Amino acid sequence: MKVTEIELTKQIIQKTGFNPTAILKGSQDYNFGQYKQSNTKQANKTSVVYKGFYSGKPAILKVFITKTFNKARYFRNLYVFNKLTKQYPLWQNITPALYLTGTKPLAFYINEAIPGNPLGDWYHLNTNNEDVILKTIKTIIEIDKTTHLPKHHYFSLMNKPDFFSRKIGSIAKTLNYLDNPKQTWSNFLSLTKKASNLWSISKDSFIINDANPANFLINQQKLKVIDFDMISFGKLEYDLSFLYFASINTPSEKYVQKQIKAFLKNSGKLFLFNYFTAYQILKHGCGLIKYDDKQKFAALTRKFNKLLEELG
């Protein structure tokens, strides 16, 4: 994140008349468009999200701060706002209203600020309301069943065996937080090869590809979905695995697992779901929260080892 990008963000705020009141996501370095030095790793920042007001209405401003890397992310969001909401009643009901978009000096959009509370953060489900959880699961499944996308280059088939092999290879060096990392790596890689056969015969469809609890907002039993940076073709089991991953070691874990498995039923689908859950733990869970939440870390490692046994 360069100082020049922060200045460009400031220009967007001034140009659009957006009045920021809080930073929801991204770097505090932005400080409402003013540069503020900090010790954060700037290279990892991809976007910054502000809460505030636009034309007197509560609104969200999302700025894609890296011009090249985030071009696809920007257009994925616009595809949802401009295409899917016009084609599908479901998307009209679950998507915030779009107010303004632009690409200069950086890609950005402003949308309606949805009142309500997220189901949790990216690794922890914070609700045990069974009606809300079931509504979320059903929405993910309905999106998969009803939404059809063209073979557009912004929607690459991300959940393919070779994609996962590369991703797993990139995180293999972090396996030292698990017991017997070399054996764990070997076992999981063999499961990836086994999963590839199921990949070839299972359905590819629309997935959110980032179905973490922070992206589902609930207000008076109404569900809204936000953040469409990663939408793609892929496997429904992948979206469901992210939601289950977040429920591990929470009061809702057994209920979430029961509802998902009741829908999947088929042994092949259940294998992919369990495989993807193990992958979520491997990538998102253990290494990132080891020092922040020891209880969650212990639960995830137990779950991971159990999944390897079941999958093997």
Task: Give the residue with greater pLDDT, 214 vs 183.
Answer: 214
Whether residues 44 and 192 fall in one domain: no
Q: For the chain, what is the domain count?
A: 2
Minimum mean pLDDT range among 1-10, 95-104, 261-270? 1-10
| Among candidate residues 79, 97, 113, the one where a domain is terminated | 113
**Which percentage of the chain shows pLDDT scores above 70?**
81
Whether residues 37 and 178 fall in one domain: no
Q: What is the pLDDT of residues 11-23, one digit of tens each?
A: 999 999 999 999 8
Whether residues 278 and 248 fall in one domain: yes
Range of the domain at 10: 3-113
Whether residues 134 and 241 fall in one domain: yes
CATH number of the domain that 140 lies in? Answer: 3.90.1200.10
Dist. CA 63–CA 71, nearest whole Å: 11
Q: What is the pLDDT of residues 155-181, one digit of tens each?
A: 555 566 666 666 666 666 666 666 677
Whether residues 199 and 304 fall in one domain: yes
Whether residues 275 and 149 fall in one domain: yes
Task: Give the residue with greater pLDDT, 183 vs 298.
Answer: 298
Whether residues 170 and 233 fall in one domain: yes
249: pLDDT strictly greater than 80: yes
Whether residues 222 and 94 fall in one domain: no
> Using CA atoms in the order 166, 198, 80, 108, what is the torsion angle rounded to 10 degrees?
-10
Whether residues 97 and 242 fall in one domain: no
Whether residues 94 and 144 fall in one domain: no
SS3 95: coil
Cβ-contact 114, 219 below 8 angstroms: yes
Tell whether pTM > 0.85. Answer: yes
Whether residues 50 and 163 fall in one domain: no
| Among candidate residues 74, 94, 113, the one where a domain is terminated | 113
Minimum mean pLDDT range among 102-111, 137-146, 169-178, 234-243? 169-178
Whether residues 128 and 270 fall in one domain: yes
CATH number of the domain that 85 lies in? Answer: 3.30.200.20
pLDDT at position 178:
67
| Among candidate residues 95, 113, 131, the one where a domain is terminated | 113
Categorize the per-residue pLDDT at 118 as very low, low, confident or very high, splitting at 50, 70 and 90: very high
Cis omega (within 30 of 0) for bond into 105? yes
213: pLDDT strictly greater than 50: yes
